[in-house]
Amino acid sequence: MRLLTALAALLVSLGLSAAEKTQPVFTFTAIPDQNESQLIERFGEMAKYLSAELGVEVKYIPVKSYPAAITAFRNNQVQLAWFGGLSGVQARALVPGSVAIAQGYEDQFFKTYFIAHQSAGLSASDTLSPALKGKTFTFGSKGSTSGRLMPEFYLREAFSAAPEAIFSRVGFSGDHSRTLALVQSGAYQVGALNYSVWDQALANGEVDTQQVQVIWTTPTYPDYQWSLRGDVDAQYGQGFSAKLSQALLTLSDEKLLNSFPRTKFVPTNNDFYQPIETTAKALDLMNDW
């Protein structure tokens, strides 16, 4: 009898071990909009937090480009992603049922700074100055909301022309930190970047205000968000997506929030990003990734 009991216990133990081993790892990624080492540190800590909250192994998978983040989401290589407004709209369009579940409080009121090297001779203004014409200009990534989509939208609105017709040379730096570096060095006279990257660099003493300054700020628009595939509950169990949303919305670790930087995460949904989708369609950028 004791032998049978021991065998039964062993089988139960083995069964549990097998179940644990077959529990899929929950993976997520983020658009590479800043210095890679900063992203790895931020999202490595995020993976630890989510793992503790969700009771599953959570892994952050870094990618080299915005298109790579979208591809990973589409192919179910990741189930969750920290996207910008445009990349989120593009990714969700490729995965039926996927949803935007949380955004930073600040992401409801995002904005872009236009910055200029002192050699351009431009001053801060409430409007986009005609003096921009003929300067050299760099966007961030081609798929960036704050570094490309919205800056281009406002440039076209102000000048009734494409950027290539406004500036003498147009480039794409790849990320916001690189845009700042290129304009600060004088490699480009003007650039557009995420306001929070500028503010953080300024606070860190990384901006030489004798060489570069903000010359214009866009109106606000929705931007970054956490987007989740619609088949997550089928993969990880009923209620998993709700548990994940709760984990994001109740995150209170000040150091981790500051690394984004955000004061907190708040609920959102796909409808909130309709203006981004409308603008992307108007500029024919929905498939430009």
> How many angstroms from the chain centroid is the CA of residue 102?
12
Which of 198, 217, 236 delimits the end of a domain?
A: 217
Neighbours of 167 (CB within 10 A): 22
Is 210 contained in some domain? yes
Burial string for 78-96 (b: 16+ CB within 10 Å, else e) reads bbbbbbbbbbbbbbbbebe
CA 89, CA 70: separation in Å to the nearest integer? 10
96: domain CATH number is 3.40.190.10
Strands 225-228 and 169-172: unpaired
Asked whether residue 31 falls in the same domain as residue 81, the answer is yes
Domain boundary among 162, 193, 217: 217
Question: Which sign does the torsion angle of CA 235, 237, 238, 239 carry?
Answer: negative
185 plus 242 within the same structural domain: no
Same domain, 227 and 260: yes
167 with 228, same domain: the answer is no
Higher pLDDT, 80 or 7: 80
pLDDT at 6 over 70: no
Kindly tell me the burial class for residue 50, based on how many C-beta atoms sit within 10 Å of its own C-beta (0-12, 13-18, 19 or more): buried
> 148 with 196, same domain?
yes
Cβ neighbors of 232 (< 8 A, separation 6 or more) are 79, 80, 240, 241, 244
Q: For residues 258-277, give the mean pLDDT.
A: 94
Q: Which of 180, 98, 188 is nearest to 83 (CA)?
A: 98
pLDDT digits (tens, 9 = 90+) for 83-142: 999 999 999 999 999 999 999 999 999 999 999 999 999 999 999 999 999 999 999 999
In angstroms, the CA 184 to CA 64 distance is 24
- Grade residue 1 by pLDDT with cuts at 50, 70 and 90: low
Point out which residues pair with 245 in neighbouring strands. Answer: none
Task: Give me the number of domains the chain comprises.
Answer: 2
In a domain, 86, yes or no: yes
Tell me, yes or no, whether 98 and 232 share the same domain: yes
> pTM of the full predicted structure?
0.77
Same domain flag for 88 and 154: no
**Tens-place pLDDT, residues 148-190:** 999 999 999 999 999 999 999 999 999 999 999 999 999 999 9
Mean pLDDT of 49-60: 97
Question: Last residue of a domain, which of 217, 232, 266?
Answer: 217
Residue 114 to residues 130, 135, 160: CA-CA distances in angstroms? 14, 13, 18
Between CA 268 and CA 272, with CA 270 as vertex, the angle to 5 degrees is: 65
Q: Is residue 10 part of a domain?
A: no
What's phi and psi for 96, nearest 5 deg? -55, 135
Same domain, 123 and 210: yes
Residues 206, 210, 212, 216, CA torsion sign: positive
Q: How much is the pLDDT for 118?
A: 97
Do 149 and 289 form a contact (C-beta atoms < 8 A)?
no
Residues 84 and 157 placed together within one structural domain of the fold: no
Establish if 6 belongs to a structural domain.
no
289 occurs within a structural domain: no
* pLDDT at residue number 10: 47
Looking at residue 35, its pLDDT comes to 83
What CA–CA distance (Å, rounded) separates 193 from 169? Answer: 17
Average pLDDT, the chain: 92
Q: Is residue 58 part of a domain?
A: yes
Query: Is the per-residue pLDDT at 242 higher than 70?
Result: yes
Residue 200 · residue 38 · CB < 8 Å: no
In a domain, 14, yes or no: no
Identify which of 229, 289, 285 has the alpha carbon closest to the alpha carbon of residue 73: 229
- Within this chain, do residues 101 and 231 fall inside the same structural domain, yes or no? yes
Q: Mean per-residue pLDDT for 73-91?
A: 97
Q: 10 Å Cβ neighbour count for 109?
A: 12
Query: Residue 13 falls within a domain, yes or no?
Result: no
If asked whether residues 155 and 180 sit together in one domain, one would say yes
- 37 and 180 housed in the same domain: no
- Please give the residue range of the domain that contains residue 261: 23-108+222-282
